[in-house]
C-alpha cells in the first residue's frame, strides 16, 4: 500500500531537539563523570530518545501504523546499540577540541541518529480517510444530508489543494478532524446534529475561502 511522509517540519524539529538534547546531556555528563567513558553516552542516549519520540507523537490525532511504530523502535534501539562506537570519535575530536565540547559533538550525533530513527512515525497510508467515510455514508443519507456532507468534503479537499505546502500537513489534521466530525453529524440525522453539521460546513468553507 502506498504511503506518504507526514509533517516534514515536525520531523526536522524532532531531529533538532534530539541532537541538542544529546549534546547537552553528553556535555554535562562528561563534566560530572570524567572517568566513565560509556556513562555519558547512556545519559546522552536516554534524553534525546525521550525527546525524539515525545515530539514526534505530540498531539497526534492519527497514530502511525503499528509496523511503523515497531520500525521506529527498532531504529532507536539500533542507534542505542551503536552508541559505544562514539567515544572513539570524540577522542579524535578531542585532539582539536576541549574534551567536553568533543563529547557534546558526539552526543549531538547520537541524538541526530535517534531523531532520524523516528522517521517511520511520520508515515501514513495514502488512502483518504474522509473519502472512505463519505463513500460508506452515501447509501444511508437522505438527499439533504448527503448534499451537506459532500459540501464539507469538497471544501476540505479544496482547502488542502490551495493551502501552502509548508502548512499543509498540520492543516490536514485539523481539516480532516473537522470534516470527519461533520460526517458523524450527518450520520446521526437529528435536527440538532443537522444544525451543527451546517456550522461545520460553514467553518470548512470559510477556511477554504481564506486561501
Choice between 36 and 17, residue whose per-residue pLDDT is larger: 17
Cell matching residue 98 = 576541549
Of 75-89, 108-122, 170-184, the range with the lowest mean pLDDT is: 75-89
For the segment 40-44, the average pLDDT, to the nearest whole number, is 57
pLDDT for 130-153, tens place per residue? 888 888 899 989 889 999 999 999
Cell matching residue 127 = 488512502
DSSP type of residue 6: -
CA gap 68, 26 in Å, rounded = 29
Environment class of residue 104 by beta-carbon count within 10 Å: exposed (0-12), middle (13-18) or buried (19+)? buried
CA gap 64, 125 in Å, rounded = 9
Choice between 157 and 47, residue whose per-residue pLDDT is larger: 157
CA gap 134, 183 in Å, rounded = 7
Q: Are 141 and 52 in contact (CB under 8 A)?
A: no
Residues in the chain: 211
pLDDT band at 35 (very low <50, low <70, confident <90, very high): very low
pLDDT band at 81 (very low <50, low <70, confident <90, very high): confident
Residue written as grid cell 500500500: 1
Amino acid at each position: 500500500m502506498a504511503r506518504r511522509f507526514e509533517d516534514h517540519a515536525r520531523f526536522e524539529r524532532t531531529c533538532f531537539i534530539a541532537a541538542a538534547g544529546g549534546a547537552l546531556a553528553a556535555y554535562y555528563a562528561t563534566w560530572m563523570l570524567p572517568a566513565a567513558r560509556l556513562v555519558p553516552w547512556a545519559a546522552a542516549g536516554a534524553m534525546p530518545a525521550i525527546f525524539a519520540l515525545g515530539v514526534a507523537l505530540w498531539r497526534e490525532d492519527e497514530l502511525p501504523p503499528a509496523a511503523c511504530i515497531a520500525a521506529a523502535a527498532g531504529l532507536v534501539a539500533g542507534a542505542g546499540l551503536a552508541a559505544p562506537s562514539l567515544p572513539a570519535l570524540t577522542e579524535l575530536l578531542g585532539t582539536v577540541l576541549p574534551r567536553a565540547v568533543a563529547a557534546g559533538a558526539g552526543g549531538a550525533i547520537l541524538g541526530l541518529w535517534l531523531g532520524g530513527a523516528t522517521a517511520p512515525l511520520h508515515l501514513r497510508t495514502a488512502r483518504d480517510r474522509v473519502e472512505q467515510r463519505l463513500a460508506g455514508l452515501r447509501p444511508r443519507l437522505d438527499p439533504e444530508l448527503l448534499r451537506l456532507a459532500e459540501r464539507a468534503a469538497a471544501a476540505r479537499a479544496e482547502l488542502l489543494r490551495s493551502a501552502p505546502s509548508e502548512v499543509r500537513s498540520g492543516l490536514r489534521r485539523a481539516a480532516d478532524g473537522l470534516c470527519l466530525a461533520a460526517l458523524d453529524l450527518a450520520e446521526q440525522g437529528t435536527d440538532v446534529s443537522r444544525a451543527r453539521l451546517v456550522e461545520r460546513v460553514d467553518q470548512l468553507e470559510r477556511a477554504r475561502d481564506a486561501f
